[in-house]
Amino acid sequence: MRKILLIVACVLSYCAVSQAQGGMWVPSLIEERVKDMQSKGLKISAGDIYATDKASYKDAVVLFGGGCTGEMVSSEGLMLTNHHCGFSVLQKHSSVEHDYLKDGFWAMNRDEELPNPGLTVKFLVRMDDVTDKVFAGTEGLSASEAESIKRSNIEKVIQETVGGTHYEADVKTLYYGNQYYIYVYEVFEDVRIVGAPPSSIGKFGGETDNWMWPRHTGDFMYFRVYAGKDNKPAPYSKDNVPYKPKKYFNISTGGIGEGDFTMVYGYPARTQQYLFSSGVDDVLSHSNPAKIKLRTMRLEEIQRARKSDPAIRIAYSYKEASIANAWKKWQGESLGLERLKTIAKKEAYEKSFEEWAYTKPEYKDVVSSLRAQYDSIHDYSLAWDYLREAIFAIELVQVMRIADKWIESPSEAIPQKLSDFYGDYYPEIDKKIAKKLLAEYMGKIPQRFIPDEVAEDIKTANGVDAYVDMLFQSSSFVSADRLASAIAQKQDLTKDPAVVFYFAFANMFNNAVRGKIIKYDANIEALQKTFVRGQKAFDADNKTGRVFFPDANHTLRVSYGSVSGYSPEDAVWYMPISTLEGIIAKDNPQEYEFNIPQKLRDIHASSDYGRWSVNGTVPVCFIANNHTSGGNSGSPVLNGKGELIGINFDRTWTGTMSDIEFDPEICRNISLDIRYVLFVTEKIGGAGYLIDEMNIVHSKAK
Ligand code: ARG
Ligand code: GLU
């Protein structure tokens, strides 16, 4: 009886989820969603969102750098994204004399804008279903025989589509090999920094507030895209001119409130909505706890050290931020998966799927086969997690990856990357961390994943601590000075104990782990293809009403929902909009994460908000139930008319299981209110001229 109830509840809950519109929709198919979107407040048409025969909003969205999203906001190439997306390029321009991270940066004219070699933005020209072309000639072949034909078909499709043009193209799969799409991009490589607030605004709240609501982070940065005189992409040149985009967003200062339609248009990187129950169990019971524990060890040491010395705080701030970001996300994800009982729901669903599939040869064995493959991969993928998060997380070991081939025939000059590394390196901290990480690895990982030579050395040294002490005492890689003198003495760096340690693990990984992971992953992928197709048939047979969308794969997607508060715990209701009052309440000159610029204090004291005043304050951030993920950082948040109302930059941590299962009750994306962006630009940056360049509209959303 309990089981039946669970199955019914499960099917119902899938209906509930699909009705509540988790989903990252494919722009070229948005027509299929547009009725639903319009019923929730969308005023524009499918063709306004995505078109290839005319300018549409897709032409105003860019894939920024390696992993973020950005949006065009003027006819003169002006673009917005997040501060945390532009952080590393801004850092390269910063020095002690010009600390743009600390003080902010505002180009007061176009000559002052800062070029960034290597940084690109990509505009999606079009996306097309090329499934038939990719599968051509593979009928009746085994999966492995088909693989090479598919690969050459993909090459051919790319050639046919962009050969002889200045466009680039990618072919990516949707639904695990069931569909293939080609994505054609125009790639611009002259992208200059225009403006950034000081970190005390752009990173306000730091790690404490990261993934949290209520939030008050002014996480934005301006860039400008430049083109050749023909408006086509061109390498950096003084003669380049601002790119004239086919489309840019109008900016709405009309405001938003609870229940208003919102839409996020951007590049989510990866979700796993169709992950098999055993895969979720691996995440929840093994991978996340292991990774969280290992990162906790690192963070504890860094935090202890930085309290004792402000120089360490600066040197380790970027490292700490990147360790802490996923660490916090995984904790929220685990809580969310437990709360939703995702594993039990998936197991119940898979059981009824198996019963349904009993008479269907195509799907009959897919569930049991998936289970078997997950059993086979389990030890290897856990070993891989431990290797990455314990062994290769030791900074002394990372040196091997940075220096790489140079170690074999080192020249006098230490490679730049390596000197940069030493600029922020404290071997004493690393040594303490290494002891903990290695001990944890030795204690948790089966013997066969411990290289013999390391096991022996540890034994000879009389334990992990003494072994690590020896490693740091005798390695030349612990400091630039030691390394320089080793080179001067013509020591063979390939015999350095840290190098030996690194290669012992790298070789073990290559011999004993890598191949297995590749093999079982490929098997899982192949089964997943059948399973996803089967789920569509199964749900259709059962009339569950579940609406399928492809997992995020770092291609352009639309998600929509509404501005929405939520209840994080019993008797508590979070309102959806934060204001300047919250910033002032958190302001604390003694806490570097919460120490706002004096100018902002003064503006607040005099309530001098000018045209940005709303009910006597300034709105800062808002939450909504749009389904987003990593990569959506910097995405435009639009109202029903397609006007820019905000910039997406985060989710609430307890809702990050939305990468596996979305829960409309508590999953919230966090956006910066565009009015706070304009307020900071004008009042803090003194760069009001940028606002003159934009098209500001004051329309109400409704
Ligand atoms: N949590 C956001 C994201 O996943 C913001 C990250 C900014 N970095 C940080 N460590 N605070 O990217
Ligand atoms: N901050 C994330 C990013 O850089 C977005 C947050 C999320 O994972 O939703 O893409």
Lowest mean pLDDT among 275-289, 299-313, 523-537: 299-313
User: How open is the CA angle 92-201-259, to the nearest 5 degrees?
Assistant: 120
Q: Is the pLDDT of residue 19 over 60?
A: no
Helix (H, G, I), strand (E, B) or coil at 577: strand
Residue 700: predicted pLDDT: 60
Which of 18, 277, 633, 671 is catalytic? The answer is: 633
The mean pLDDT value for 402-411 works out to 89
Residue 214: predicted pLDDT: 98
Q: Which two tokens stand for residue 491?
A: 């020591």
What band does 413 get if pLDDT is binned at 50, 70 and 90? confident
DSSP state of 60: G
Distance from Cα 28 to the centre of ligand 1, integer Å: 30
Residues pairing with 264 in the sheet: 559, 637
212-244, pLDDT tens digit by residue?
Answer: 999 999 999 999 999 999 999 999 999 999 999
Mark whether 48 is an active-site residue.
Answer: no
Counting residues of the chain whose pLDDT is more than 90, the rounded percentage is 90
Which of 219, 551, 663, 673 is catalytic? The answer is: 219
Q: Is the pLDDT of residue 597 over 60?
A: yes
64-114, pLDDT tens digit by residue?
Answer: 998 999 999 999 999 999 999 999 899 889 887 888 999 999 999 999 999
Higher pLDDT, 462 or 313: 462
Q: Is the pLDDT of residue 540 over 60?
A: yes
Residue 532: predicted pLDDT: 98
Of 234, 195, 246, residue with least CA distance to 77: 246
User: Which ligand 2 atom sits closest to the C-alpha of 329?
Assistant: 8
What band does 194 get if pLDDT is binned at 50, 70 and 90? very high
> What whole-number distance in Å separates Cα of residue 659 and Cα of residue 552?
9
- 246's torsion region: left (phi>0), alpha (psi -120 to 50) or beta? alpha
Closest ligand by atom to 593 CA? 1
What band does 170 get if pLDDT is binned at 50, 70 and 90? very high
Q: What pTM did the predictor assign?
A: 0.94
Q: Is the dihedral of CA 413, 417, 423, 428 positive or negative?
A: negative
Q: Within a 13 Å sphere around the CA of 580, how many CA atoms are in the beta-carbon half?
A: 23
**Contact assessment for residue 573 and residue 213, using Cβ atoms and an 8 Å cutoff:** no
Residue 5: predicted pLDDT: 45
Q: Which two tokens stand for residue 533?
A: 């197709």
**Contact assessment for residue 107 and residue 680, using Cβ atoms and an 8 Å cutoff:** no
What band does 412 get if pLDDT is binned at 50, 70 and 90? confident
648-690, pLDDT tens digit by residue?
Answer: 999 999 999 999 999 999 999 999 999 999 999 999 999 999 9
Smallest CA separation from ligand 1 atom 2, residue: 650
DSSP state of 547: P
Smallest CA separation from ligand 2 atom 4, residue: 633
State how far Cα 522 lies from the chain centre: 24
Higher pLDDT, 144 or 512: 512
Residue 641: predicted pLDDT: 97
Of 185, 113, 244, 84, residue with least CA distance to 647: 84
- 137's torsion region: left (phi>0), alpha (psi -120 to 50) or beta? left
Locate the DSSP E strands across 517-668: 557-562, 577-579, 619-624, 636-638, 644-651
Q: Show contacts of 581-586: CB within 8 Å, 24+ apart.
A: 581/617, 582/214, 582/216, 582/620, 583/204, 583/216, 583/620, 586/204, 586/205, 586/216
DSSP result, 135-198: HTT-TT--HHHHHHHHHHHHHHHHHHHHTTSS-EEEEEEETTTTEEEEEEEEEE-EEEEEEE--
326-352, pLDDT tens digit by residue?
Answer: 999 999 999 999 999 999 999 999 999
**Contact assessment for residue 68 and residue 633, using Cβ atoms and an 8 Å cutoff:** yes
Closest ligand by atom to 69 CA? 2
Say if strands 78-81 and 190-196 run parallel, antiparallel, or are unpaired: unpaired
Closest ligand by atom to 651 CA? 2
Residue 161: predicted pLDDT: 98
User: Which ligand 1 atom sits closest to the C-alpha of 207?
Assistant: 11
> What whole-number distance in Å separates Cα of residue 123 and Cα of residue 187?
6
DSSP result, 360-408: -TTTTTHHHHHHHHHHHHHHHHHHHHHIIIIITTSHHHHHHHHHGGGGT
What band does 699 get if pLDDT is binned at 50, 70 and 90? low
Q: Within a 13 Å sphere around the CA of 147, how many CA atoms are in the beta-carbon half?
A: 8
> What whole-number distance in Å separates Cα of residue 554 and Cα of residue 534?
24
467-503, pLDDT tens digit by residue?
Answer: 999 999 999 999 999 999 999 999 999 999 999 999 9
Q: Ligand 2 pocket: which of 68, 209, 627, 632 to mutate (most atoms <8 Å of CB)?
A: 632
Distance from Cα 611 to the centre of ligand 2, integer Å: 31
What band does 14 get if pLDDT is binned at 50, 70 and 90? very low
Mark whether 496 is an active-site residue.
Answer: no
What band does 698 get if pLDDT is binned at 50, 70 and 90? confident
Residue 683: predicted pLDDT: 97
> What whole-number distance in Å separates Cα of residue 402 and Cα of residue 657?
33
Q: Ligand 1 pocket: which of 84, 85, 215, 594 to mutate (most atoms <8 Å of CB)?
A: 84
Residue 21: predicted pLDDT: 56
Q: Is the pLDDT of residue 3 over 80?
A: no
Residue 97: predicted pLDDT: 82
Mark whether 84 is an active-site residue.
Answer: yes
Per-chain mean pLDDT for the chain: 94
Distance from Cα 633 to the centre of ligand 1, integer Å: 9
> What whole-number distance in Å separates Cα of residue 77 and Cα of residue 251?
15
What band does 353 get if pLDDT is binned at 50, 70 and 90? very high
Cis before 245 (ω within 30):
no
Q: Is the pLDDT of residue 10 over 60?
A: no
Counting residues of the chain whose pLDDT is more than 70, the rounded percentage is 96
Lowest mean pLDDT among 84-98, 185-199, 541-555: 84-98
Q: Is the pLDDT of residue 529 over 90?
A: yes
The mean pLDDT value for 507-526 works out to 96
